[in-house]
Structures are given as structure tokens and as C-alpha cells.
């Protein structure tokens, strides 16, 4: 435990100094080093009296994919939902600690939650398109946030979002048909398009492929890899292979504690914690 | 005494048959190995087969017994009384029955009555003995055959299952048949009414003035439109009150209220639904009506204490819990994932409700609305007390009106003669009402079902 905390603090120190450096050199792009987008520090989450997360501190790098792995019930979804304050909608849920997006405190009472959620989009485990047309599904966010001033602009946003989500070719002739009529994999890509349409900075994905077959999964993984160029992505997954395939960094949770976080390769080949090793080699979980 | 005997007899047979089937199958089980069904099912099956024919006899007796005894009484009455027919015959039969039952009659019994009563008494003794014997015989014979069927390979379990399903079917048939019976009686009586008044005059007439059957042969005027108009106006006012309040209550309860608030508010609202409608009517008459009248007077509008407005508003209050609790259920069926999807895109709660929850729930809400309308149309007590009972075509809701239901009450209270159009018109009105609510309910059910399918 102590050892683990040490490594964590070390990582923290390193990345926060790096963050400061980044702030200083913001004008010069530094391609080889990762900027930090989201900083979480000592996050504790309670559902009523029950504590679900214990002092979680992690940095989410910019323009990269971070994977959250860990056995069921360890708090991955809970942590992900802290980042865009979706936990606010859960009765009795309390979040303590500090989460900063681009240096701005996410839990600052003065912050506009609605705006925050526009900046931090979310894709859910089960595809959840609205019972509206494909077009309306994607146009939903831009309409709410007034991102388009006229119809052509709106159409443009919808088309680009669908293209980025790799769905446009499949649905271009049926934009007016209900989004619920698509296949599961298409629905999930529609949900990704819907999230992209509000141009978020960060996209959170909670097991986006768990309801999909291998082919649809491969498509989404490919898509995530492409999206990395423009977005910061945090993905929860139960599939170690998926984490290894799509992410640059991986964080391993266990019983509400962040055990270890580091470059994906390192987590899978040379984890520093015994629990991580046991998990990634499939000995438990 | 008689029915008690029969019940006891049937119970004895039930126990006996069950025991026989059970122990017989037990005995069969031991040597040959396994039974297809457990002894419980063999017992049940034998019991069912034993009782079924006996119950059939009983049912036949219940159906035709009184007809038979009536025919017997008539055969024993002097011809001149039988020839009188109608109410006189009816009361003679009644008196004979009373004499036979031993309770006696008002005044002295005529000798012929006493004789007929005596004969009826004997008839009753004989028939009930026959029925008892028939039941015993049928039960015994069928017990014998049912016992013989017991065998290890008999699929008693499956057979019991099938018989149970028939039993359940029969029970639901009771409700269906009752409905059918009501509809048929409405149709036939309404048809009789239409022999007095042409359907065109009834459905398109604008004057409602049926007169009393006692004031000569003039049959009056039976225009449905003023009543229909009153009904529609009151229902519209009621929905105008109930829909916004009920819907917003439902939105609050389903989307905003914390569980603790909800657990208090919801039952309290539902108490409103439990108040008897006569109390609402009273409330309308004593409180709301005078209040509206004086409020109207204060701003210079002439509103009568009993008016379409009074009845409509109070009826709307009565319907609020109906709409709010139906809509609440429907709104809560909108999947959480869909709401999260919208919130996750940065929509506020009210935007989410307006753009996602309500559109998704719309068909269901329309269904709830239609059900509420049909409830409003059929509502009687409030309008009887508070609508003013004045069957004229009037556009001003501040004036008294009358509705279909109120008129049915009027036509059927006091002395009635079911051969006159004044009474028969109630059936035509009832039929109209029934058809209206039937269509509304069917439309509502159809829409609600379509909505359910969307999320399964
Ligand atoms: N709404 C809630 N109310 C109460 N407790 C909750 C709630 N949601 C989650 N929890 C609890 O918090 C803990 C973490 O749950 P969480 O959903 O974050 O796990 P997870 O890692 O996402 O698991 P999975 O892989 O199965 O999705 C669990 O013990 C869970 O029981
Ligand atoms: Mg989860």
C-alpha cells in the first residue's frame, strides 16, 4: 500500500510539474510529451453512507486514450461519471476532492454544469439513441447549445459528425428514419456522433462495446483510434485486449482504489503492483 | 337448508374423490415404479371429474328452476286470474310463493291461493329431492369412472393444468358475457325507443322536452344535441383544468421530486381519487358554485352558481389524480438511459423533459387523456348536483346546462313505465354514452399499447 501511494504521488508530482510546464509553453506544440487535460486529486465518492471511491488521483492526458480497467464494482463507472458530474443526477451521491478540467475546478459551485457536460461528452454502455430521426439525434446537442445559426450550418454539423463517427456512408439515405431502427453497432456510432456534434474536448465512454459483436466492436475501436487525433478520450472496458489495443495509458482500479496508472504497455507487461499483475494475467476479476 | 345440504354433499364428494384418486395412485406407484404425475394431481383430477357433472346439474336447476316453478304455479291457478295477465298475475304468483315459503301473506289467503301454495310446497319438496338424488347419482357414477382412469401413465398433471385453464377462461367469460348482456339489453330497449321516435329526430334534434308520460299521449321532443353539447362542454372544461395540472404534477413527481417527497405527495394526491363523487358534487354545489358566482359578479360576468363551469371545474379536480398517476407511470417508463443521454449532452432537466421525455411519452399521455375524457363523459353525480339541469343549447359556460348522464337519471327516477318513450329514452341515451366511451377507451388502449411496444 505504502509503496503504491509513493509511486502515485511521484506520478502526481511529475505530471503536475509537467502541467505547469505545459501552461508555460502553451504556444509551442510539444508533440512527444503528453499534455494533461483533466486532473483528479484525492477523489472520494459516497453513495449514501457507502464509499465507492477512495482517494483516487489520476491525470487524463490530452489527445490520447486512457483506459480504466478493473473488476466489476470497483468504481470505474463511478469515477468516469465524476468527470462530467453525471453523478449529480444520482440521489444520495456525494463527491469529495478535486477535479480540474484545463485547470478549472469542475466541482466549483460557480461552474455551469450544463456547459461542462457540453465540453465533456459521454457515450454509454448501452446504445441509447433518442426515439427521433437519425438527423435529429445528432442535431440534438447543437440545437440545445445553439451551435448552428441556420439550417445549412446544422446540416453541416450533422454530416461532419456522422462522417467522423464513420456512420455517414451507411445512413446517408435514411437520415429522416428513426435512430432506434439501426443495428446495435450503428446505434452506438450514432451515439458517438451525437456526442461529437457538440465538439466536446473530452469524450467519456463507459464500456461502449459491451453490447456489440466483434465486428461492430472492431469498428468502434478503429473509430476511437481516429478520434484520438482531436479529442481526449477516457474509456472504461472489461476487455484487456481492447484496453491494450486502443489506449495509450491505462488505470487499474480495485475495490474503489486506483491501484496503478501508467503507459498501457507498462501496465500490461511490467506492472508494479501485484494486484495489477494478477488482474491483467487473468488470475482474478 | 336445501342449499346447505347440497353444499355439504358436494364437499363430501370432493373430499372422497380427492382421497380416492390420491390413495389409488399411491398404491399404483409402489410396484410398477414411477407415476407420470404426483398423487396430488391424480386426486385433483378425480375430484374435478366427479364434481363437474354434479355442478352441471346444479347449474341447470339454477337456470330453469324458477321458470319451472312459475309454470307449475300458473297451472294451479284459476283460469280467470291467469287470463288477467300482467301485474295481477305477477302479484298472484308472488303471493303463492310466499304462502309456500311459510311466511304468509298480507291479508287473508284466498282458498285457491292456499291450495296453489300447498301444491307448490309439495312440488318444491319433490324437485329438490330429485335434484339431490340426481347430484348424488351423477357424482357417484362419475367418481366410479374417474377412479377407473387412474393409472401410472395417466397424465393427470397436464390434464389438471388444462382444466384449470378452462376454469380461468370461464371466470373471465363471466365479465365478457355480462358486458355482452348489458350491451344487448341496451340495444333492444333502445330499439324499442326508436319505434316511438325516429333516430333522425333523436340524434339531430335540437330540442329536449320529453314531457311526462302522465300528461296525455303527446310524446314530446327528444333531441340529443343539447345533452351532448352539455356533456362535451363540461368534459372540455374538466380536461382544461385537469390536463395541465395533472400533467405537471406527473412531471414533477416523476422527474423532479426526491423519493421522500414523492412518497408523501403521491398517496396524498391519490386520496383525491378516493373521494366519492357525490362529495365532489356537494363541494361544487355548496362551495365552488357560490364562489364562482360571486367572483364573476365582482368582475361583472354573470356566472350562475350551478353551471357548466362549476361542474366542469370540480370534475376537473376530480380527474387530476387520474391523469397525474397514469402519466406518472408512463413518464417513469421512459428509460433512464435516454434521460442520461440527454443530460450527458449538456441539456438541462427541463430541456430533457421537453425534448426527450415528453415526446417519448406522448402516445401514452394521449392514451391517459382519452381515458380521462371517457371518465368525464360518464361522470354523473357532480353534474346532477352542480350543472343546473337545463337541457338547452347554450354556448355560455356560465349558464346551467344538462348532460346525457343527468338526463338518464331524470328519466329513470320517480314513477316509470317501461313501455313509454319517456323511460325508454334512457336506454338510447345510455347506448350513446356507451358507444362514445367505448371508442375513447379503445383508442386510448390502442395508443397506450403502441407506446409500450416501443420500449420492449
Ligand atoms: N446508484 C448507486 N447507488 C448506490 N451504489 C452504487 C450506485 N452506483 C454504483 N454503486 C456502487 O458503487 C460501487 C462502484 O460501482 P461502479 O458502477 O462504479 O462499478 P464499475 O467498476 O463500473 O463496475 P462494472 O464494471 O460492473 O460496471 C459498487 O459497489 C456499486 O455497488
Ligand atoms: Mg460500470
Residues B269 and B149 in one domain: no
CB nearest to B360's CB, from A117, A131, A140: A131
Angle B188-B190-B191 from CA coordinates, rounded to 5°: 65
CA of A135 relative to ligand 2 center, distance in Å: 29
Residue B350 is assigned to a structural domain of this protein: yes
Helix (H) or strand (E) holding A262: strand A257-263
Judge contact between B197 and B218, C-beta under 8 A.
no
**Range(s) of the domain holding residue B243:** 221-455
Tell whether B327 is covered by a domain.
Answer: yes
What pLDDT does residue B11 have? 93
**Nearest-angstrom CA–CA distance, B450 and B370:** 15
Confidence grade of residue A201 (pLDDT, cut at 50, 70, 90) = very high
Element (H, E) at B409: helix B404-412
H runs (alpha helix) in B275-357: 277-283, 289-299, 308-333, 336-344, 349-352
Ligand 1 pocket test target in A47, A204, A207 with most atoms within 8 Å of CB: A47
Place of cell 395533472: B246
Q: Which residues of B touch A (CB under 8 A)?
A: 258-259, 335, 337-338, 340-348, 351, 355-356, 359-360, 454
Residues 6+ positions from A89 with CB-CB distance below 8 Å:
B340, B343
Helix axes B421-454 and B308-333, enclosed angle (nearest 10): 30
Looking up residue B416, the CATH number of its domain turns out to be: 1.10.3720.10
Residue at a domain's end among B125, B154, B183 = B154
Where is average pLDDT lowest: A208-212, A229-233, B53-57, B143-147? A208-212
Mutate to test the pocket of ligand 1, among A46, A51, A74, A238 (most ligand atoms within 8 A of CB): A74
B382 found inside a domain: yes
Q: In chain B, whose CA is at the least distance from the CA of A82?
A: B344
Can you tell me the distance from the alpha carbon of B12 to that of B5, in angstroms, rounded to the nearest whole number? 10
Sorting pLDDT into bands at 50, 70 and 90, what band is A43? Answer: very high
Give residue A128's pLDDT band: very low, low, confident or very high (50, 70, 90): very high
Instruction: Flag if B355 and A140 touch (Cβ within 8 Å).
Output: yes
Per-residue pLDDT of chain B (456 residues; tens, 9 = 90+): 478 888 898 999 999 999 999 998 888 876 656 778 888 999 999 999 999 999 998 888 888 888 888 888 888 888 877 787 777 788 888 888 888 887 777 777 778 888 888 888 888 889 888 888 999 999 999 999 999 988 888 888 899 999 999 999 999 999 999 999 999 999 999 999 898 888 888 898 888 888 754 444 456 788 899 999 999 999 999 999 999 999 999 999 999 998 899 999 999 988 888 999 999 999 999 999 999 999 999 998 888 889 999 999 999 999 999 999 999 999 998 899 999 999 999 999 999 999 999 988 888 899 899 989 999 999 889 999 998 888 888 888 889 999 999 999 988 887 667 778 888 889 999 999 999 999 998 988 888 787 766 655
Query: What is the structure's pLDDT at A203?
Result: 94
A184 close contact with B: CB closer than 8 A: no
Q: Is B203 among the domain residues? A: no
**Record: contact B346-A117, CB cut-off 8 A:** yes
Taking CA atoms, what residue in B is nearest to A129? B338
Out of B340, B347, B359, name the one closest to residue A86 (CB): B340
**Taking a contact as any Cβ pair under 8 Å apart, which residues of chain A between 189 and 218 contact chain B?**
191, 194-195, 198
Residue A22 predicted with pLDDT over 50: no
Which pLDDT tens digit goes with each residue over B254-311? 999 988 999 999 999 888 889 999 999 999 999 999 999 999 999 988 888 899 999 9
Query: Which ligand has the minimum distance to the alpha carbon of residue A50?
Result: 1
B273 shares its domain with B130: no
Number of other CB atoms surrounding residue B97 within 10 Å: 19
Question: Does the residue B162 lie in any domain?
Answer: no
List the grid coordinates of A161.
Answer: 459528425
**Closest Cα in chain B to A127:** B337
Q: How many domains does chain B have?
A: 2
Identify the band that residue A284 occupies on the pLDDT scale cut at 50, 70 and 90.
low
Residue of A nearest to B359 (CA): A131
Residue nearest to atom 25 of ligand 1 (CA): A72
Contact B43, B19 (CB under 8 A): yes
Q: Are residues B127 and B239 in the same domain?
A: no
Residue B331, domain member (yes or no): yes
Per-residue pLDDT, averaged over A22-34, amounts to: 44
- Which of A91, A124, A191 is opposite residue B259, by nearest beta carbon? A91
User: What backbone torsions phi and psi does residue B372 show, to the nearest 5 degrees?
Assistant: -65, -40
CA distance A92 to chain B (A): 10
User: DSSP secondary-structure letter at A86?
Assistant: G
Task: Kindly give the distance from the C-alpha atom of residue A205 to the centroid of ligand 1, in angstroms, as a whole number.
Answer: 16
Report chain B residues whose CB lies below 8 A from the CB of A146: none
CA-based nearest distance A273→chain B, Å: 34
CA A37 to centroid of ligand 2, rounded, Å: 22
Question: Which protein residues are within 6 Å of ligand 1, measured from CB?
Answer: A 47, 52, 70, 72-78, 90
Residue B401, classed as helix, strand or coil, is: strand
Is A124 close to B341, i.e. CB distance below 8 A?
yes
N residues, chain B: 456
Compute the count of residue pairs across chains A and B with CB atoms less than 8 Å apart.
66
Query: DSSP character for B356?
Result: I
- B337–A124: do the CB atoms touch at under 8 Å? yes
Atom of ligand 1 nearest to the CA of A92: 3
How far apart are the C-alpha atoms of A193 and A168, rounded to whole Å? 10
CA distances to A176, B69, B78 from B75, rounded to whole Å, are 80, 10, 8
Between the two ends of chain A, the Cα-to-Cα distance in Å is 19
Do B441 and B333 have their domain in common?
yes
With respect to residue B175, please indicate whether it lies within any of the assigned structural domains.
no
Which of B132, B154, B176 is the endpoint of a domain?
B154
Query: SS3 string of B47-82?
Result: HHHHHHHHHHHHHHHHHHHHHHHHHHHHHHCCHHHH
Ligand nearest to the backbone CA of A92: 1
- pLDDT of res. A4: 46
Q: How far, in Å, is the centroid of ligand 2 from the Cα of B233? A: 54
Q: From the CB of residue B369, how many other CB atoms can be counted at a distance below 10 Å?
A: 21
Cell triple for B437 = 366511451
**Alpha-carbon distance values, A99 to A105, A106, B8, B66 (Å):** 6, 6, 79, 86
Write out the H or E segment, with its range, that includes residue B188. Answer: helix B156-196
Q: What pLDDT score does B90 carry?
A: 80
How many C-beta atoms lie closer than 10 Å to residue A8's C-beta?
A: 19
Q: Which of A54, A56, A75, A204 to mutate to test the pocket of ligand 1 (most atoms within 8 A of CB)?
A: A75
CB spacing of A144 vs B338 below 8 angstroms: no
Maximum distance among all alpha carbons in chain A? 59
Q: From the CA of A225, how far away is ligand 1's center (Å)?
A: 27
CB-count exposure of residue B20 (10 Å: 0-12, 13-18, 19+): buried
Question: What contacts B114, CB < 8 A, 6 or more positions away?
Answer: B99
Q: Does residue B166 sit within a domain?
A: no
A183/B1 Cα distance (integer angstroms): 71
- CA-based nearest residue in chain B for residue A139: B345
Q: Which residue of A has its CA nearest to B257?
A: A91
Model confidence pLDDT, tens digit, residues A64-111 = 999 999 999 999 999 999 999 999 888 889 999 999 999 899 998 899
Distance (Å, rounded) from C-alpha B54 to C-alpha B60? 10
Q: How does residue A166 score in pLDDT terms, banded at 50, 70 and 90?
A: confident
CA distances from B449 to B254, B378, B446 (A): 21, 23, 5
- What pLDDT is attached to residue A13? 45
Interface test with A, best of B346, B354, B362 (most A CBs within 10 A): B346
B188 to B192, B213, B444: CA distances (angstroms): 6, 21, 28
Please spell the DSSP secondary structure of A27-53, one letter per residue: TS--SSS--EEEEEEEEEEEETTEEEE
Closest chain A C-alpha to B369 CA, distance in angstroms: 22
Judgement on whether residues B139 and B263 belong to the same structural domain of the protein: no
Cell (9 digits) for A221: 475501436
Contacts of B344 in chain A (CB under 8 A): 84, 86, 117, 121-122, 124, 195
Residues B344-370 have pLDDT tens digits of: 999 999 999 999 999 888 888 998 999
Residue of B nearest to A85 (CA): B344
Q: How far apart are CA A133 and CA A183, in angstroms?
A: 14
Residue that has been written with the C-alpha cell 377507451 in this structure: B441
Mean pLDDT lowest for which of A136-140, A211-215, B447-451?
B447-451
Helix, strand, or coil here: B33?
Answer: coil
HSE value, Cβ hemisphere, 13 Å, CA-based, for B351: 16
Sign of the C-alpha dihedral, residues B181, B384, B249, B360? positive
* Spatial separation of the C-alpha atoms in residues A186 and A209, rounded to whole Å: 11
Q: What is the DSSP letter of B110?
A: P
Q: Is B393 left (phi over 0), alpha (psi -120 to 50) or beta?
A: beta
Cα B13–chain centre separation: 35
B123 and B231 inside one domain: no
Whose CA is closest to atom 4 on ligand 1?
A: A47
Ligand 1 atom with least separation from CA of A125: 27
A78, A87, A90: which to mutate for ligand 1, most atoms within 8 A of CB?
Answer: A78
Give the minimum alpha-carbon distance from B339 to chain A in angstroms, rounded to a whole number: 9
Domain C-terminal end among B108, B130, B154 = B154
Q: Best interface-test mutation with A: which of B262, B341, B351, B356 has the largest number of A CBs within 10 A?
A: B341
Nearest to B283 by CA among B309, B312, B314, B304: B314
Amino acid at each position: 500500500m505504502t509503496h503504491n501511494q509513493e509511486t502515485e504521488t511521484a506520478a502526481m508530482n511529475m505530471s503536475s510539474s509537467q502541467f505547469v510546464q505545459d501552461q508555460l509553453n502553451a504556444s509551442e506544440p510539444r508533440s512527444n510529451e503528453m499534455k494533461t487535460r483533466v486532473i483528479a486529486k484525492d477523489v472520494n465518492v459516497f453513495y449514501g453512507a457507502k464509499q465507492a471511491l477512495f482517494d483516487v488521483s489520476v491525470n487524463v492526458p490530452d489527445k490520447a486514450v486512457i483506459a480504466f480497467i478493473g473488476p466489476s464494482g470497483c468504481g470505474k463507472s463511478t469515477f468516469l461519471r465524476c468527470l462530467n458530474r453525471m453523478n449529480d443526477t444520482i440521489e444520495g451521491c456525494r463527491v469529495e476532492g478535486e477535479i480540474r478540467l484545463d485547470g478549472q475546478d469542475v466541482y466549483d459551485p460557480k461552474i455551469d454544469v450544463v456547459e461542462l457536460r457540453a465540453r465533456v461528452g459521454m457515450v454509454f454502455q448501452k446504445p441509447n439513441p433518442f426515439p427521433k430521426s437519425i438527423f435529429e439525434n445528432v442535431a440534438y446537442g447543437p440545437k440545445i447549445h445553439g451551435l448552428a445559426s441556420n439550417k445549412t450550418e446544422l446540416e453541416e454539423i450533422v454530416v461532419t459528425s456522422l462522417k467522423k463517427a464513420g456512420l455517414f456512408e451507411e445512413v446517408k439515405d435514411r437520415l429522416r428514419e428513426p435512430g432506434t431502427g439501426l443495428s446495435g453497432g450503428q446505434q452506438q456510432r450514432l451515439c458517438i456522433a451525437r456526442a461529437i456534434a457538440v465538439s466536446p474536448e473530452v469524450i467519456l465512454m463507459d464500456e461502449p462495446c459491451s453490447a456489440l459483436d466483434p465486428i461492430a466492436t472492431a469498428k468502434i475501436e478503429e473509430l476511437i483510434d481516429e478520434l484520438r487525433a482531436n479529442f481526449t478520450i477516457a474509456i472504461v472496458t472489461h476487455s484487456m485486449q481492447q484496453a491494450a489495443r486502443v489506449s495509450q495509458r491505462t488505470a487499474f482500479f480495485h475495490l474503489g482504489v486506483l491501484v496503478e496508472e501508467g503507459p498501457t504497455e507498462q501496465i500490461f507487461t511490467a506492472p508494479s503492483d501485484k494486484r495489477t499483475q494478477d488482474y491483467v494475467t487473468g488470475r482474478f476479476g | 337448508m336445501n342449499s346447505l345440504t347440497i353444499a355439504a354433499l358436494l364437499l363430501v364428494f370432493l373430499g372422497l374423490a380427492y382421497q380416492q384418486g390420491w390413495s389409488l395412485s399411491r398404491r399404483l406407484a409402489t410396484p410398477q415404479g414411477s407415476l407420470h404425475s404426483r398423487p396430488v394431481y391424480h386426486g385433483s383430477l378425480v375430484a374435478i371429474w366427479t364434481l363437474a357433472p354434479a355442478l352441471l346439474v346444479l347449474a341447470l336447476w339454477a337456470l330453469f328452476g324458477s321458470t319451472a316453478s312459475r309454470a307449475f304455479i300458473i297451472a294451479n291457478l284459476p283460469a280467470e286470474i291467469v287470463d288477467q295477465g300482467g301485474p295481477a298475475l305477477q302479484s298472484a304468483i308472488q303471493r303463492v310463493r310466499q304462502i309456500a315459503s311459510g311466511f304468509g301473506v298480507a291479508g287473508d289467503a284466498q282458498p285457491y291461493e292456499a291450495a296453489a301454495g300447498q301444491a307448490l310446497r309439495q312440488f318444491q319438496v319433490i324437485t329438490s329431492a330429485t335434484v339431490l338424488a340426481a347430484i348424488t347419482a351423477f357424482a357417484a357414477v362419475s367418481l366410479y369412472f374417474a377412479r377407473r382412469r387412474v393409472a401410472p401413465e395417466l397424465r393427470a398433471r397436464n390434464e389438471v393444468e388444462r382444466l384449470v385453464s378452462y376454469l380461468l377462461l370461464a371466470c373471465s367469460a363471466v365479465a365478457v358475457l355480462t358486458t355482452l348482456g348489458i350491451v344487448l339489453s341496451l340495444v333492444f330497449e333502445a330499439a324499442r325507443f326508436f319505434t316511438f321516435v325516429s333516430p333522425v329526430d333523436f340524434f339531430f334534434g335540437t330540442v329536449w322536452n320529453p314531457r311526462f308520460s302522465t300528461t296525455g299521449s303527446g310524446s314530446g321532443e327528444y333531441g340529443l344535441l343539447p345533452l351532448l353539447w352539455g356533456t362535451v362542454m363540461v368534459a372540455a372544461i374538466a380536461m382544461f383544468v385537469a390536463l395541465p395540472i395533472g400533467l405537471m404534477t406527473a412531471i414533477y413527481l416523476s422527474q423532479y421530486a426526491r423519493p421522500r417527497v414523492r412518497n408523501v405527495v403521491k398517496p396524498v394526491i391519490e386520496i383525491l381519487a378516493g373521494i366519492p363523487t357525490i362529495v365532489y358534487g356537494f363541494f361544487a354545489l355548496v362551495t365552488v358554485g357560490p364562489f364562482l358566482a360571486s367572483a364573476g359578479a365582482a368582475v361583472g360576468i354573470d356566472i350562475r352558481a350551478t353551471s357548466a363551469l362549476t361542474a366542469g371545474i370540480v370534475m376537473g379536480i376530480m380527474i387530476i389524480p387520474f391523469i397525474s398517476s397514469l402519466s406518472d407511470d408512463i413518464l417513469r417508463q421512459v428509460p433512464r438511459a435516454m434521460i442520461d443521454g440527454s443530460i450527458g449532452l449538456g441539456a438541462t432537466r427541463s430541456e430533457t423533459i421537453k425534448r426527450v421525455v415528453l415526446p417519448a411519452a406522448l402516445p401514452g399521455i394521449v392514451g391517459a387523456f382519452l381515458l380521462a375524457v371517457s371518465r368525464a363523459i360518464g361522470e354523473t353525480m357532480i353534474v346532477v348536483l352542480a350543472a343546473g339541469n337545463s337541457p338547452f343549447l347554450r354556448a355560455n359556460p356560465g349558464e346551467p346546462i344538462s348532460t346525457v348522464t343527468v338526463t338518464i337519471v331524470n328519466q329513470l327516477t320517480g314513477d316509470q313505465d317501461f313501455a313509454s318513450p319517456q323511460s325508454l329514452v334512457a336506454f338510447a341515451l345510455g347506448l350513446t354514452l356507451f358507444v362514445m366511451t367505448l371508442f375513447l377507451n379503445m383508442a386510448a388502449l390502442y395508443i397506450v399499447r403502441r407506446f409500450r411496444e416501443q420500449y420492449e
